[in-house]
Every structure is written in C-alpha cells, then in structure tokens.
Amino acid sequence: MSKTVEFTDGNFELEVLQSEHPVLVDFWAEWCGPCRMIGPVVEEMAGEYEGKAKIGKVNVDLNPEVSVKYGIRSIPALLIFKDGQVVDQIIGAVPKTHLTKQLEAQLN
C-alpha cells in the first residue's frame, strides 16, 4: 500500500502545485486529536488513489510558510488542489465517504 507523501515548505510547489494529478493535502499536527483520527483514513486513501491522485500531509508545526500561505487556522484542514489551484476545502475530521466524494469530483 502506498504511503502518503510528506509535503514541506521546500517541496510543496513541485509536489502539489506542479502535480499532473489532483492532490489531497492534509494539514495536521502531532498534538491534534482529530488529526490523529483522520490520519489513517488519509493513509488508506493514498493507496486507493495511487496513479489517479496524489495524497499527502503537511505538518503545520514544521512547515509554517505553506500553512500561512493557505490560511490554515483550524486543523485538520484538507485542501484539494488541481492544476495548482485550491478547488475544495474540508475542515475537521469527516467520514471517509465525504473525503472520497470530494476527491472523486476532481478526477475528471
């Protein structure tokens, strides 16, 4: 099973903004309980969408630049990027069905 990609301030442009596939980015932190709840769902989706979408995580404590750039104030915050632009945003721990529905909408 594929692991999520670790996005950082340093690789965000290349890995997310220049990706040929839609990208689901999970903004999270170690100390965030809801982040730990949704983490395994995001990991699972990384395997399921391999080759169709890129799925990864940004630790907001270690990567303040990208977190500030996208106005992340609450975590978990999941942003979906397509062609370098934010096309959808999900705040909070939501069911997997909600995440997959939002991501599927960008796979056309």
pLDDT in tens, 51-68: 999 999 999 999 999 999
pLDDT of residue 38: 95
1 pLDDT band, cuts 50/70/90, is very low
From the candidates 16, 32, 38, 41, give the one annotated as an active-site residue: 32
Mean pLDDT of the chain: 95
The percent of residues above 90 in pLDDT, for the chain, comes to: 95
* Average pLDDT over every residue of 70-99: 96
2 pLDDT band, cuts 50/70/90, is low
Judge whether 99 counts as a catalytic residue: no
From the candidates 16, 23, 35, 79, give the one annotated as an active-site residue: 35
End-to-end C-alpha distance for the chain, whole angstroms: 24
74 pLDDT band, cuts 50/70/90, is very high
Distance CA 10, CA 52 (A): 24
Give all domains of the chain, ordered by start, each with its CATH number: 5-104 (3.40.30.10)
Considering only CA atoms, which of 107, 102, 11 is closest in space to residue 56?
Answer: 11
Q: Cα–Cα distances in Å, from 108 out to 1, 25, 33, 36? A: 24, 18, 33, 30
Residue with tokens 């596939």: 21
Judge whether 35 counts as a catalytic residue: yes
